[in-house]
């Protein structure tokens, strides 16, 4: 990445709640300020249910924000009507977790990859469309002979390659990768991660990479944003966060990464107790205090601000 960082997408005070009754809501995303820089891979990490997928979808307007705003470059996209948003929509694509579920089993590869090109009337005729689909198959390493095959005739890794081809068909600037390798065998994960890296360089993409797996994130990300219960705990350059995590929850996640070397396993571990609190009724003060081994009275009553500490931003009274 160049030293001159330009913001591609950012949000301010973003909130997404899902009503579950007349009086109660799931607080999936709570008052988040975040910026994604052009050309970077920003990883969103945290346990299942922390709001990372909802945040990704709300940023690209697949969910309407409950409140707060989102800007693409200098344009406020969160206030737009669907027709007004359409030209921006094509700049933002998604790669989904489950390549089995995200591809229509009744469509062949040509039609799956061609779908966004047809929707946005990108090609002049059928020949040009097929030529473009074949180029995309080359780019993701799916043999041209498979043009008229159906999803059930492919392995999980090949299906994810087809999903990647569809996501880049319109030359988007931002791709949300939502757990793109977690449904794949470990042996296939690194192949798909390498492909994502190559495609990012070749197409000049910016990634928001959503994952619960910190070993995967370490391989691909420039920056890491750790979330807990709809809030950001810590955000900064990957090298800083992996070398010296400051938030107790980040430390816990780092300690949970399996270590292959038995000599390194005796390190002190931060142990977490209890279940993740309900996002319908999140705890007051620091949302992590019911599980944090260092919680004090202040943590139970006063919410920590996300502030600059040692080159990253952290939300912890003790940092
Ligand atoms: Fe733990 Fe308190 Fe820091 Fe929250 S603010 S992470 S409860 S020490």
Please give the mean pLDDT across all residues of the chain.
93
Distance 245 CA to ligand 1 centre (A): 14
Which residue has a Cα nearest atom 6 of ligand 1? 316
- Average confidence (pLDDT) over 274-296: 92
What distances in angstroms separate CA 180 from CA 76, 92, 94, 152, 189, one per listed residue?
28, 16, 10, 18, 9
Task: State which of 276, 299, 307, 319 you would mutate to test the pocket of ligand 1, scoring each by most atoms of that ligand within 8 A of its C-beta.
Answer: 299
Q: Hunting for tokens 């793109």 — which residue is that?
A: 180
Q: What is the predicted pLDDT for the residue at 97?
A: 87
Distance 220 CA to ligand 1 centre (A): 28
Q: What is the predicted pLDDT for the residue at 76?
A: 97
Which residue has a Cα nearest atom 3 of ligand 1? 316
Contacts of 115 by beta carbon, 8 Å cutoff, 6+ apart: 107, 166
Distance 306 CA to ligand 1 centre (A): 12
Q: How far apart are the first and last CA of the chain?
A: 28
Which backbone phi and psi does 233 adopt, to 5 degrees?
A: -90, -45
**What DSSP line would sit under 148-171, residue for residue?**
T--GGGS-HHHHHHHHHHHHHTT-
Q: Which residues line ligand 1 (CB under 6 A)?
A: 247-248, 286, 288-289, 292, 294-295, 299, 304, 316-318
Distance 255 CA to ligand 1 centre (A): 17
- Average confidence (pLDDT) over 108-127: 95
> Residue 233 CA: which ligand 1 atom is closest?
6
Task: State which of 245, 248, 307 you would mutate to test the pocket of ligand 1, scoring each by most atoms of that ligand within 8 A of its C-beta.
Answer: 248
pLDDT of 10-36, one tens digit each? 999 999 999 999 999 999 999 999 999
Q: Judging by DSSP bridges, how do beta strands 312-314 and 231-237 pair with one another?
A: antiparallel
Which residue has a Cα nearest atom 7 of ligand 1? 289
- Average confidence (pLDDT) over 122-143: 96
> Residue 293 CA: which ligand 1 atom is closest?
1
Task: Please count the other Cβ atoms lying within 10 Å of the Cβ belonging to residue 19.
Answer: 10
**d(C-alpha 312, C-alpha 42), whole Å:** 14
HEC-encoded secondary structure of 28-65: EEEEEEEEEECCCEEEEECCCCCCHHHHHHHHCCCCCC
Which residue has a Cα nearest atom 5 of ligand 1? 316
**d(C-alpha 47, C-alpha 17), whole Å:** 18
Q: How would residue 144 be classed by pLDDT, with cut points 50, 70 and 90?
A: very high
Percent of the chain with pLDDT over 90: 86
- Average confidence (pLDDT) over 37-55: 96
Q: What is the predicted pLDDT for the residue at 287?
A: 96
Range of weakest confidence among 100-114, 208-222, 255-269: 255-269
CB 71 within 8 A of CB 55: no
**d(C-alpha 192, C-alpha 50), whole Å:** 25
Q: How would residue 1 be classed by pLDDT, with cut points 50, 70 and 90?
A: low
Distance 70 CA to ligand 1 centre (A): 29
Range of weakest confidence among 12-21, 36-45, 101-110: 101-110
Distance 288 CA to ligand 1 centre (A): 6
Question: Is the predicted pLDDT of residue 266 greater than 90, yes or no?
Answer: no
CB 74 within 8 A of CB 6: no
Question: Is the predicted pLDDT of residue 136 greater than 60, yes or no?
Answer: yes
């Amino acid at each position: 990445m160049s030293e001159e960082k330009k913001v591609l997408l950012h949000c301010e005070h973003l909130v997404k709640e899902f009503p579950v009754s007349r009086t109660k809501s799931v607080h999936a995303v709570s008052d988040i300020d975040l910026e994604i820089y052009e050309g970077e891979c920003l990883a969103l990490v945290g346990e299942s249910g922390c709001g990372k997928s909802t945040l990704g979808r709300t940023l690209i307007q697949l969910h309407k924000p409950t409140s707060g705003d989102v800007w693409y470059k200098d344009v406020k996209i969160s206030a737009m009507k669907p027709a007004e948003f359409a030209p921006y929509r094509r700049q933002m694509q998604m790669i989904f977790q489950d390549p089995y579920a995200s591809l229509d089993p009744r469509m062949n590869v040509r039609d799956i990859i061609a779908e966004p090109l047809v929707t946005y009337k990108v090609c002049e005729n059928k020949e040009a469309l097929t030529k473009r689909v074949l180029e995309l198959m080359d780019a993701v390493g799916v043999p041209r002979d498979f043009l008229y095959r159906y999803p059930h005739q492919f392995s999980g890794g090949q299906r994810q390659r087809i999903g990647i081809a569809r996501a880049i068909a319109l030359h988007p600037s931002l791709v949300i990768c939502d757990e793109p390798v977690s449904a794949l065998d470990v042996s296939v994960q690194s192949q798909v991660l390498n492909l994502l890296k190559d495609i990012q360089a070749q197409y000049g993409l910016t990634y928001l990479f959503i994952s619960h797996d910190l070993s995967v994130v370490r391989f691909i990300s420039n920056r890491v944003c750790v979330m807990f219960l709809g809030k950001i705990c810590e955000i900064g350059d990957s090298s800083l966060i992996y070398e010296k995590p400051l938030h107790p929850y980040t430390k816990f996640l780092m300690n949970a990464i399996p270590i292959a070397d038995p000599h390194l396993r005796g390190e002190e571990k931060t142990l977490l107790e209890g279940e993740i609190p309900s996002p319908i009724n999140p705890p007051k003060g620091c949302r992590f205090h019911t599980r944090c081994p260092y919680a004090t009275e202040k943590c139970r009553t006063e919410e920590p601000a996300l502030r600059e500490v040692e080159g990253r931003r952290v939300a912890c009274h003790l940092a």
